Amino acid sequence: MGRVGIRDVAKAAQVSVTTVSHALNDRRGSRISAATKEHVRAVAEDLGYAPNRLASGLRNNRSYLIGLVSDEIATTPFAGDMILGAQDAAYERGCLLMMLDAGGDGELEKRQVSTLLQHQVDGIVYARMYHQRIGLPVELAGVPTVLLDAVSADEKVSSVIPDEVEAARLAVRSLVAAGHRHIGFINNLDDIPATHGRLLGYQEALKESGIEFDPALVVAGVPETNGGRAAAMDVLSGPSRPTALFCFNDQMAMGAYQAAGSLGLEIPRDLSVIGIDNLELIAAALWPGLTTMALPHYDMGRWAVKQLLNEIEKPDDVEPVQMMFDCPLVQRGSVAPPLQI
């Protein structure tokens, strides 16, 4: 049983391949009677005909493939939803996603990009695992590209990132709303946009509530459980212990849980904790569940592909867009009013 092609349909329907093509794809200027069209479609359906995308792509100069190049999204749990969002958006518009993950190897990534181009992808989503500022690879010059969770100095390319400042502001506001006025911030010590953005949001939220910013309440560490534990240990054993901790991410928040545990502090009775990421695996697994700000990975992935397809489909009248998404608060059980002394 060889694949059924357009010729087979033509033969079965007793018409020419041209007519079959016209009957199946309505297109401006294809004059064909309704009866013939219906007949051909029925025959095609009957034979289970499905067009060969390689062939039509060759003719149309359109592969309906879009490439997703990432550093290590596929293999880490931090941003997997971006892939799902991207894939859904692509699929809805009749495209397939080709995903490649170079694991951070720049040389490999270059080769991967050129392989994608050999396969005539219509465009490329260039994604990073976490929000960062990057330079666009030269290979991508002239190729429709959208940056996902990254921004470039090059303004001619669209990009989408989370609103770090607003996320932090909302997180701290929710602690203030619960009654806290003594709020520590466990920050990341890496020099990345999130570090600065979240610190800014923390400061702004304090300011708008009339709480004075106390540098002693801000401690940084490596953005993992260990770093969070050490930093939390630090700030919780200090002279003026905060009643709540805003943590750079859920992993550091998990570290804060551990520190609280070893200091005999019960969450949320003695200490409220809020994180960022909404990493299901951690936030839901902690006990009590971790209240945290969800990074809108799914929506960002979706938006990136949608924007890319728009740019591909009308290359002329689409301007590059720099998009920012809000981060919703996900409440679990780690925030409560402070103990009255």
Partner DNA sequence: TTGACATGAAAAACCGTTTTAGCTAATGTG
Partner DNA sequence: CACATTAGCTAAAACGGTTTTTCATGTCAA
Summarize as ranges the residues that interact with DNA (CB under 7 A): 3, 5-7, 14-22, 24-25, 27, 29-33, 35-36, 49, 51-52, 55-56, 58-61
Cβ proximity to its own copies, 257 vs 325, nearer residue: 257
Say which residues have a Cβ less than 8 Å from residue 86's Cβ, sequence separation at least 6.
Answer: 68, 97, 125, 127, 148, 301, 302, 304, 305
Angle, CA 185 vertex, CA 204 and CA 129 arms, to 5°:
90
Cβ atoms < 10 Å from Cβ of 312? 18
- The interface partner of residue 98, options being its own copies, DNA, none and the CB cut-off 5 to 8 Å by kind, is its own copies
CA 77 to each of CA 74, 83, 109, 124, 326: distance values in angstroms, whole numbers, following the listed order: 8, 11, 20, 22, 20
- Nearest approach, Cβ of residue 309 and DNA (Å): 17
Any bridge partners for residue 99, and if so which?
68
Rounded least distance, CB 34 to its own copies, Å? 26
Residue 328, both tokens: 């919703």
Contact between 36 and its own copies per CB under 8 A: no
Please tell me whether residue 312 binds its own copies under the rule CB under 8 A.
no
Q: Does 229 bind its own copies (CB under 8 A)?
A: yes
Among 58, 177, 216, 339, binds its own copies (CB under 8 A): 58
Distances (CA, A) of 167 to 1, 194, 198, 201: 57, 10, 7, 7
In the list its own copies, DNA, none, the entry touching 104 (Cβ below 5 to 8 angstroms by class) is none
Residue 50 or 84: the one with the smaller Cβ distance to DNA is 50
39 binds its own copies (CB under 8 A): no
| Cα separation, 157 vs 198, whole angstroms | 25
In the bound state with DNA, the residue whose beta carbon lies nearer, of 18 and 114, is 18
Q: Which residues pair with 273 in a beta bridge?
A: 245
Helix axis angle for 17-24 and 34-47, nearest 10°, is: 90
Which listed residue (9, 20, 116, 217) binds its own copies by CB under 8 A? 116
Q: Which does 17 bind (CB under 5 to 8 A by kind): its own copies, DNA, none?
A: DNA
DSSP-derived secondary structure letter, 217: G
Query: Which of 330, 222, 320 shows the shortest CA–CA distance to 275?
Result: 330
Assigned token pair, 59: 């003719």
Question: Is residue 179 near its own copies by the rule CB under 8 A?
Answer: no
Tell me if 91 contacts its own copies by CB under 8 A. Answer: yes
172 binds its own copies (CB under 8 A): no
84 lines the binding site for its own copies (CB under 8 A) = yes
Q: Which residue from 99, 192, 263, 265 is in contact with its own copies, where contact means CB under 8 A?
A: 99
Q: List contacts with its own copies (CB under 8 A).
A: 1, 50-55, 57-58, 63-65, 74-77, 80-81, 83-84, 87, 91, 96-101, 103, 112, 114-120, 142, 224-225, 229, 251, 254-255, 258, 261, 279, 281-282, 284-287
